[in-house]
A and B are shown apart, each in its own frame.
Chain A
Amino acid sequence: MTDTPSRTWKTASGIPLKSSYCREDIPQWYLPEINKAPGELPYQRGAFAQGYRSKPWRIFQLSGFGKPEDENERIKFLLAHGETGFLMEHDRNTADHMYNVDHPDVLARPQDVGLTGAVMQSIRDIDICLSDLPISTTFGHAGGAVVQHAPFALAGYWTVAKRRGLSLETLPGTGQSDFFLTYHGCVPKHQIPTAAGLRFNADIIEFCYKYVKRWVPVSIAAYNGADTGLNAYQELGALFANAVEYLDEIKRRDSMPLEAAAKACGGVNFRLSMDLFEEASKIRAGRKMWADLLERRYGISDAKARQLRIHCVTSGSNMTYQQPLNNIVRGTLMALAGVLSGIQSLGISGYDEALSIPSEHAHQMSVRIQQILQHETNVPAVVDPLGGSYYIESLTAELIERAWSFFDEIQSRGGFLETLNTGWLHHCAHENQHEDFLAQERKERIIVGVNDFRADISPFEVDGFVGVNDAFDVAMQRLKDVRATRAQRPAAQALHNLERVCRNSENIMPAMMDALDAEVTLGEIGDVWRSVLGDWVAPQITI
Chain B
Amino acid sequence: MKNSARILIAKTGLDGHWRGASLVARALREAGFDVVMAGMSSWEEIVQAISDKEVDLLGISIGGHMEVAERAIAEARKVRPDLPVMVGGVVPPWAKKKLEAQGVEVYPPGSQMSEITEGAQRLTGYRAEPMPGSDTGRSQA
Contact = CB atoms under 8 A, between A and B. Distances in A.
Interface stretch (B18-26, B79-87, B125-133): B18-26
Bin the interface of chain B by size.
Answer: 35 or more
Contacts of B22: 430, 541-542
B3 interface: no
Contacts of B43: 108
Interface in B95-110: 108-110
Given A108-B43, A108-B44, A543-B37, A321 B16 contact: no
A132 interface: no
A430 B112 CA distance: 16
A106 B37 CA distance: 21
B14 A354 contact: no
Interface string B12-38: 111111110011001100000000010
Contacts of A437: 23, 27, 112-113
Contacts of A92: 14-15
A115 B92 contact: no
A328 interface: no
Contacts of B26: 430, 434
A434 B26 CA distance: 9
B65 interface: yes
A286 interface: no
Contacts, number: 105
Contact of B14 (A109, A185, A451, A461): A109
Nearest to A181: B16
B67 interface: yes
Interface string A6-44: 000000000000000000000000000000000000000
B23 A109 contact: no
Interface in A382-440: 429-430, 433-434, 437-438, 440
Contacts of B108: 321, 354
Interface stretch (A76-84, A186-194, A513-521): A186-194
A438 B136 contact: yes
B93 A112 contact: no
By secondary structure, the A interface counts as loop
A321 B14 contact: no
A93 interface: yes
Contact of B65 (A109, A430, A542): A109
B27 A96 contact: no
B23 A434 contact: yes
Nearest to A107: B42
A447 B112 CA distance: 11
Interface string A446-466: 010111000000000111100
Contact of B23 (A433, A464, A542): A433
A97 interface: yes
Nearest to A99: B14
Given A321-B109, A438-B136, A463 B16 contact: no
B38 to A, nearest CB: 9
A176 interface: no
Nearest to A539: B18
B39 interface: yes
Contact of B39 (A97, A463, A543): A543
B23 A111 contact: no
A517 to B, nearest CB: 29
Nearest to B13: A112
Given A92-B14, A441-B137, A542-B18, A109 B113 contact: no
A433 B18 CA distance: 12
Contact of B16 (A434, A442, A542): A542
Contacts of A61: none
A302 interface: no
Interface in B108-141: 108-110, 112-114, 136-138
A186 B11 CA distance: 13
A213 B12 CA distance: 41
B90 interface: yes
B130 to A, nearest CB: 15
Interface string A309-322: 00000000000111
A188 B23 contact: no
Interface in A443-492: 447, 449-451, 461-464
A429 B23 CA distance: 11
Contact of B94 (A96, A187, A463, A542): A463
Contacts of A430: 19, 22-23, 26
Contact of B90 (A111, A186, A320, A355): A355
B74 interface: no
Of B16, B68, B110, which is in contact with the most chain A CB atoms at under 10 Å from its CB? B16
B8 interface: no
Given A108-B42, A463-B92, A320 B110 contact: yes
A115 B65 CA distance: 7
Interface of A: 92-93, 96-97, 105-106, 108-109, 111-112, 115-116, 185-189, 228-229, 320-322, 354-356, 429-430, 433-434, 437-438, 440-442, 447, 449-451, 461-464, 541-543
